[in-house]
Amino acid sequence: MKPVWQIVGERPWLGWLLFLGTVAAVFAVGVLSASLIERKREGRLAFQQSVEIGDLESDSSVWGRNYPREFETWQKTLDGSFESKHMGSRAIDVLALDPRWVVLWAGYAFSRDYNQARGHMHAVEDVRKTLRTGVPQPGTCWSCKSSDVPRVMNEMGVANFYKAKWEELGPKIKNPIGCLDCHDPKTQDLRISRPALVEAFQERGEDIGKARHQEMRSLVCAQCHVEYYFKGEGKYLTFPWKKGFAAEDMEAYYDEVGHTDFVHALSKAPMLKPQHPDWELFQTGIHAQRGLACADCHMPYEVEGGMKFSSHHVVSPLANIGQTCAVCHRESEDTLRQNVYERQDKLREMLSRAQDALVAAHIEAKAAWDAGATEAEMTPALTAIRHAQWRADFVAASGGAAFHAPVESARLVTSSLDKAAEARLLLARILAAHHVTQPVPLPDLSTKEKAQTFIGFDFAAERAKKEEWTKTVLESWGK
């Protein structure tokens, strides 16, 4: 057999044939690829055009006809199997898990009933069920629960929405948190649908319209997963960010405007109740510092039928370590999970110390009042209690605090403990001045029932009232 170069050398036309043949084949592959990409794009466009989505379409299933993958993963937020497996029940009763909270929130609705939040699709169902509603509440409480909110706000005006009665708006609100809350129906761009976040940026002299796409992938979450309060008579939803995003900045803001969420039933301290400063605390941690957005870990990319999309099953990243942590970290799933658990365990221990000190402080303050202490004597101790509980609860209420920002969380809990200790020391001196020199006995807080009995809340009676309300009021709202 002759070598190749000799065969080609003898027939120059064969060299040209090989060359031109290769050019033709590469061209054909290019055309084919472009056609496949185009077809994929057309497939997506075809979906996008199959249904016209209205400007205020609150029914996510309508959007779902164009975006089946996003819709189907969103529907998985009904599924609590991850939470159930890892946290022990579908709806975790925070008060049963740690009855000290009953005492810490005595005099406020959170001491009645407080379950860990479930998936987005449960939002309306859960807010209807809780014992925190049914008692008089403003319309503001609906703000974060439903994709019907933009429509109802549009109908009645934002300020009127907030100051309406919660029960009055009930029949209009049926759809849980869904597509319209974060997306533009025409372009599917991320979009802020709630005025409070836009107004909070304005108040800080910033324009949220200039946010980058990656920032928007957190800011749509920050419409709800933030600290807020109901301002003034109109119960106007307001984020206390004027002085900054740190717990101390918001504390200073509340002190300055003189806001108090509730007066504590035992200590009479003017208390603040943090909501869920998830976004704010996340910003102080290493993952945000490295440029990650909420969606990077809570809505990871998936691939299905050749299409890449962001999962709308918003859940703990630990439910999908392979799609979340493992994108950057090379350790085993088990190692990464243990790293998270270790931070949680250590922070829980720290928080527990602050909680113990705070429970004692409230009870000792009550003893001081009972012993005849005056308001002038009590004020410094009550202010210390206010600040101490704000800081510990800020961390406890912030979802994922121990992972999002373990060092900042630890710093806040330590400052809480310090202020709670200061309060107890002041109270010990007040008590001594009123001839109480023995330690004030602490109650048995081993169960939620015992804790609620201690603060004088009749859970069974309130549950019965709520059932009556469910039958009379709630059923009149329709499905």
Return the number of the residue (22 or 89) whose C-beta is nearest a second copy.
Answer: 22
Return the number of the residue (166 or 390) whose C-beta is nearest a second copy.
Answer: 390
Return the number of the residue (84 or 289) whose C-beta is nearest a second copy.
Answer: 289
Give me the least distance between CB of 418 and a second copy, in Å please.
5
Return the number of the residue (184 or 249) whose C-beta is nearest a second copy.
Answer: 249
Binding of a second copy by 13 (CB under 8 A) = no
Angle of helix 333-370 relative to helix 375-397, nearest 10 degrees?
170
Binding of a second copy by 328 (CB under 8 A) = no
When binding is defined by CB under 8 A, the residue of 76, 243, 259, 411 that contacts a second copy is 411
Binding of a second copy by 339 (CB under 8 A) = yes
Binding of a second copy by 318 (CB under 8 A) = no
Alpha helices by DSSP H, 221-332: 247-257, 278-283, 286-289, 294-298
Binding of a second copy by 135 (CB under 8 A) = no
Binding of a second copy by 350 (CB under 8 A) = yes
**d(C-alpha 45, C-alpha 307), whole Å:** 13
Strands (E), 129-183: none
When binding is defined by CB under 8 A, the residue of 428, 445, 453, 469 that contacts a second copy is 428
DSSP 402-425: HHH-HHHHHHHHHHHHHHHHHHHH
Give me the least distance between CB of 364 and a second copy, in Å please.
10
When binding is defined by CB under 8 A, the residue of 137, 260, 383, 414 that contacts a second copy is 414
Direct distance between the N- and C-terminal alpha carbons of the chain, in angstroms, rounded to an integer: 85
**d(C-alpha 475, C-alpha 233), whole Å:** 29
- Count of beta carbons in the 10 Å neighbourhood of residue 7: 12
Residues in 236-295 at the binding interface with a second copy, rule: CB under 8 A = 286, 289-290
When binding is defined by CB under 8 A, the residue of 57, 83, 181, 408 that contacts a second copy is 408
Return the number of the residue (99 or 285) whose C-beta is nearest a second copy.
Answer: 285
Give me the least distance between CB of 9 and a second copy, in Å please.
2
When binding is defined by CB under 8 A, the residue of 410, 451, 455, 474 that contacts a second copy is 410
424: which residues sit within 8 A by CB, 6+ positions away?
357, 360, 361, 364
Return the number of the residue (6 or 447) whose C-beta is nearest a second copy.
Answer: 6
**d(C-alpha 433, C-alpha 399), whole Å:** 42
Q: Say if CB 164 and CB 234 are below 8 A apart.
A: no
Binding of a second copy by 433 (CB under 8 A) = yes
**d(C-alpha 218, C-alpha 278), whole Å:** 10
DSSP 3-state assignment of 131? coil
Return the number of the residue (314 or 428) whose C-beta is nearest a second copy.
Answer: 428
Query: What is the distance, to the nearest Å, from the Cα of residue 120 to the centroid of all Cα atoms in its chain?
Result: 10
Binding of a second copy by 6 (CB under 8 A) = yes
Return the number of the residue (116 or 414) whose C-beta is nearest a second copy.
Answer: 414
Q: The tokens 């121990």 sit on which residue?
A: 402
Binding of a second copy by 10 (CB under 8 A) = yes
Indicate the pairing of strand 307-310 with strand 229-231.
unpaired
Give me the least distance between CB of 113 and a second copy, in Å please.
30
When binding is defined by CB under 8 A, the residue of 26, 31, 135, 407 that contacts a second copy is 407
Binding of a second copy by 12 (CB under 8 A) = yes
Give me the least distance between CB of 433 and a second copy, in Å please.
6
Q: Return the bridge partners of 238, or none.
A: 229
Binding of a second copy by 305 (CB under 8 A) = no
Q: Which stretch binds a second copy (CB under 8 A): 23-31, 196-204, 382-390, 404-412?
A: 404-412
Q: Which helix (H) or strand (E) holds 96?
A: helix 94-97
Indicate the pairing of strand 270-271 with strand 262-263.
antiparallel
Q: What is the CA radius of gyration of the chain?
A: 28
Q: Say if CB 382 and CB 239 are below 8 A apart.
A: no
| CA geometry: angle 336, 339, 341, nearest 5 deg | 110
Q: Which stretch binds a second copy (CB under 8 A): 49-57, 232-240, 350-358, 471-479?
A: 350-358
Q: Say if CB 91 and CB 123 are below 8 A apart.
A: no
Q: Which residues bind a second copy (CB under 8 A)?
A: 3, 5-6, 8-10, 12, 15, 286, 289-290, 331, 335, 339, 342-343, 346-347, 349-350, 353, 357, 406-408, 410-411, 413-415, 417-418, 421, 424-425, 428-429, 432-433, 437-439
